[in-house]
Amino acid sequence: MGRLRRYRGFASEALDRYELHADHVHLLQHDENVTYRVAAGGQRYLLRIHRDGRRSPAQIGSELRWLEALRADAGLTVPEPVEDSAGHLLGEASSEGVGHRSFVLFRWLPGRFRRTWPALEPLERAGALLARLHLHGQTFGRSPDFSRPHWSLETLCDGDVEGCSWDDIDPAYRSVHLEARARVIEGGRELAGLASESLIHGDYHHHNFLFRGSQVGAIDFDECGFGDPTYDLATTLLWFRLFGRGTEARHYFLRGYTSVRPLPSTFEAGLDLYTVARMLYMVLWRAGRPGHPFYDWWMKTLPRSAARMQRWLEGRDPFDLGG
């Protein structure tokens, strides 16, 4: 609780830069970043306080440039960053107990997440949105001062997680994950001639797209970077598999995507590789956050993850575990 109080103080200092008189500041998430929902003057905002050392100011600034371009050039419903009273989109501040952090204020993006899917047709709109995002990402971000991470199969398999390595994984489950890692990287060499790199979302799953009437929007571009669009598709389809109705959801989502642009050239050959790479990435991501409230529960999922890796290595369906 003391740590959260210190973040609340940092949030108040950050909001002062915008000359906002907040009526209500509500903690949304204390995870990769710390986020608050802010109500001020009849408007709603989202304040994002970045994890220390995760993204450089240049990388965050590049993310904000892409968001602005996606809104202006492609007309997509994505977060809109707000300038502070000095005209800056990206702020930096220091406070006792929190340290030096970057922060951004966004206008609140209205809509709701769908955690269950009684009707699957809305997924077509989510697929079409991702396709439009990929089309824009093919040409944007090529200037020398634009800086975002590069998501390859190798960087995913090694987690892009500072301070964590496969040596930190319980030895009882490490070897099968490392064997899967080696198989993925070997397979990636065969994809090298097919892949076309563009800007991608990097974390496009059903908690990061939301619906409002007939409209769909995408949020949380903190993982956006350069990579194979198949990775975005694999991330979305993985969540459908993990939480049920995978085949039906896949059909509607891909139908929406292909209504805008063809599937990537690597889709057929690379989907399984990127799916397993995503699962390996999440294992390391979780292992690299021992202070997280869900850390103990995450570590209890290692046996199930190892079982999935073993089934995949044997050429069997990694999701058909039963129970």
- Asked whether the predicted pLDDT for residue 160 surpasses 70, the reply is no
The per-residue pLDDT for range 42-99, each reduced to its tens digit, is 999 999 999 887 899 999 999 999 999 999 999 999 999 999 999 999 999 888 778 8
User: Per-residue DSSP letters for 263-288?
Assistant: PPTTHHHHHHHHHHHHHHHHHHHHHT
Helical packing angle, 302-313 and 267-287, nearest 10°: 150
Give the integer Cα–Cα distance in Å for 184 and 191.
11
Residue 291 has a pLDDT of 77
- Residue 247 phi/psi, 5-degree rounding, is -65, -45
* Cβ neighbours around 100 below 10 Å, total: 10
At 308, list the tokens: 């999935």
Domains of the chain are 2-107 (3.30.200.20), 122-313 (3.90.1200.10)
Residue 136 sits at the vertex; the CA angle it makes with 91 and 51, to the nearest 5 degrees, is: 30
Q: Is 237 helix (H, G, I), strand (E, B) or coil?
A: helix
Q: Among residues 117, 110, 63, which one has the least CA distance to residue 248?
A: 117
Q: What is the DSSP letter of 322?
A: -
The per-residue pLDDT for range 273-306, each reduced to its tens digit, is 999 999 999 999 888 888 777 888 889 999 999 9
C-alpha dihedral, 223 to 225 to 228 to 234, nearest 10°? 10
Find where tokens 């710390």 sit.
Answer: 34
Give the integer Cα–Cα distance in Å for 214 and 135.
21
Beta bridge mates, 217:
210
